[in-house]
Amino acid sequence: MGLLDSILGAVAGSQQAQAGSGGGMGGLGSLGGLLTMVTSNPQVLQAVVGMLGNDGAHGGLGGLVQKFQQAGLGDVVGSWIGTGQNQPISGSQLSDVLGSDTITHLAEKLGVNPSVAADQLSSVLPGLIDQLTPQGQAPEGGLGNSGDLMGVLGRLLR
């Protein structure tokens, strides 16, 4: 788990540097919720990376976008990818999109009940997708596999 440890170290270092300078979240902006979640519960990051990676069960970002479109929430995920304001999503809506099996599996990994897991995921996913698509478009080939994404997140959070 060396890569995850280095990402967590970068997160902790960024938070300490920001606190020491009195400068809020600086360039990390909308990653504030992700930073907090990652340092307190790294399993959420692993779950999200598993969802967004091309090698994940959902078919990567493209597969996730399709699930949102099928659930009538294509505009919501589109706002996360686009350059405008991110639309919020509730844990309940996210459960509808991903399915109860996915949320239950996540909850088991996190050691919480499914509604808490869905709420945690709904607080992290919009900002993370936004940060991973800075040009306002989903890359044609997706975001890469899980290992690629962990590397990108490591660089992003430094």
Has residue 1 got a pLDDT over 70?
A: no
What average pLDDT does the structure give for the chain? 76
Q: Which of 5-9, 19-23, 76-80, 118-122 has the highest mean pLDDT?
A: 76-80
Res 58 pLDDT > 80: no
* Residues contacting 58, CB < 8 A, separation 6+: 51, 64, 67, 98, 102
Contact between 88 and 121 (Cβ < 8 Å): no
Angle at 157 between CA 126 and CA 104, to 5 degrees: 45
Largest CA distance in the chain: 46
Helix H segments across the chain?
A: 2-21, 32-40, 42-52, 60-70, 74-81, 91-98, 100-110, 114-132, 146-157
Question: Tokens in use for 40?
Answer: 């307190």
Given this model, what pLDDT does residue 157 score? 62
Phi/psi at 100 (5° precision): -65, -30
Q: Which amino acid is at 132?
A: L
The two three-digit tokens of residue 101, written as one number: 């099996």
Average pLDDT over every residue of 72-96: 95
Helix axis angle for 114-132 and 91-98, nearest 10°, is 80
If one counts every other C-beta atom within 10 angstroms of the C-beta of residue 12, the result is 14
The full set of domains in the chain, from first to last, is 29-146 (1.10.10.690)
Instruction: Tell me what pLDDT residue 156 has.
Output: 67
Q: What is the pLDDT of residues 16-55, one digit of tens each?
A: 333 333 333 333 334 555 666 566 667 777 778 888 888 7
119 has a pLDDT exceeding 70? yes
Give this prediction's pTM: 0.73
Q: What is the pLDDT of residue 34?
A: 60
CA 144/CA 140 separation, integer angstroms: 10
- pLDDT bucket at 66, cuts 50 / 70 / 90: very high
